[in-house]
Amino acid sequence: MKLKLVIVLVMALALASCGGEKPKKDVSGAEPATEKATEAVADADPMANKGIGPISSVTLGEIDQTLVAEGETVFKAKCTACHKISKKFVGPALKGVTQRRSPEWIMNMTLNPEEMIAKDPIAKQLLAEANGAPMANQNITEEEARALLEYFRSKN
C-alpha cells in the first residue's frame, strides 16, 4: 500500500513536470499537465497505440456472445465500482471504447494499470482527467481481460 502511494506520488510529480515548465506554486497542479498531455497525444493516432503490458497482438473475429457474457460477469464484479457503460463515473464511460482504443491497449490497461498510468501517454492523460484517481489493479487474468474486451465490443 505504501509502495503504491509512492508510485502515485511519483506519477503525480512526473505529470506535473512533463510540460517542461517549473511547477507554479499557486496553481492547482493537474491542469497545466492535462493541457500538455492532451497536446502530446493529439498528434498520434490512438488506435495505433498498443499500450504497455503483456498483450502485443489480439486477433478479432465476429463478436463471440459466450465471451461477451463472461466479460459482463467480470465487469460487474470487478469494474463497476469505477466504470459505467453509459456515463463517466470515476473513470471514463466505456460505451464505444473499442472504437477509441486498440484492443491491445484496452487489455494492457486492464492487466497492467500501474505501469500504464506511469508511462503511457493516453493513460497519463486519463489519470489527469480522473483527477488523479488511479485505475485499480484488480488482478484480472488474461482470459478475463479478453472477455472484457469482447463485452466492450458489444457496447459500441
Partner 1 sequence: MKTIFKYFITFTVVSSWLVSCGDVNSGKSSSQGALSTNAAEKVYVAPGEHDDYYAFISGGFSGQLAVYGLPSGRLFKVIPVFSVDAEKAWGFNEETKPMLNTSHGFIPWDDSHHPDISQTAGELDGRWVFINGNNTPRIAKIDLTTFETTEIIEVPNSAGNHSSSFVTENTEYVVAGTRFSVPFPQRDMPISEYKGNFKGALSFISVDPEDGRMDIKFQIMMPGFDYDLSHPGRGASHGWFFFSTYNTEEANSLLEVNASQNDKDFIAAINWKKIEEYVNNGGGKKVPANYAHNVYDEKTHTATSTMKKEVLVVDPTEVPGAVYFMPTPKSPHGCDVDPSGEYIVGSGKLAAELTVHSFSKMIKAIENEDFDGDAYGIPILSYESTLAGAVKNPGLGPLHTEFDGKGNAYTTFFISSEVVKWKLGTWEVLDRKKTFYSVGHLMIPGGNSRKPFGDYVVAMNKITKDRYLPTGPEVTQSAQLYDISGEKMELLLDFPTVGEPHYAAGIAADIVAKKSKKFFRLEENEHKHAVKSEAESKVVRNGNEVHIYMTMIRSHFAPDNIEGIQVGDKVYFHVTNLEQDYDVPHGISMIGANTSELLIMPGQTESFVWEAKQEGVWPFYCTDFCSALHQEMQGYIRVSPKGSNVPISFTLDGDPVDIE
Q: Per-residue x/- marks for partner 1, 52-81, CB under 8 A?
A: ------------------------xxx-xx
Minimum CB–partner distance for residue 105 and partner 1 (Å): 21
Q: Which of 58, 64, 84, 92 binds partner 1 (CB under 8 A)?
A: 84
For residues 100 and 122, is the Cβ–Cβ distance under 8 A? no
Which cell numbers hold the place of 26?
A: 499557486
Which cell numbers hold the place of 119?
A: 508511462
For residues 149 and 101, is the Cβ–Cβ distance under 8 A? no
For residues 132 and 9, is the Cβ–Cβ distance under 8 A? no
17 makes contact with partner 1 (CB under 8 A): no
Residues that bind partner 1 (CB under 8 A): 1, 3-5, 8-9, 12, 76-78, 80-82, 84-87, 89-90, 131-134, 136-140
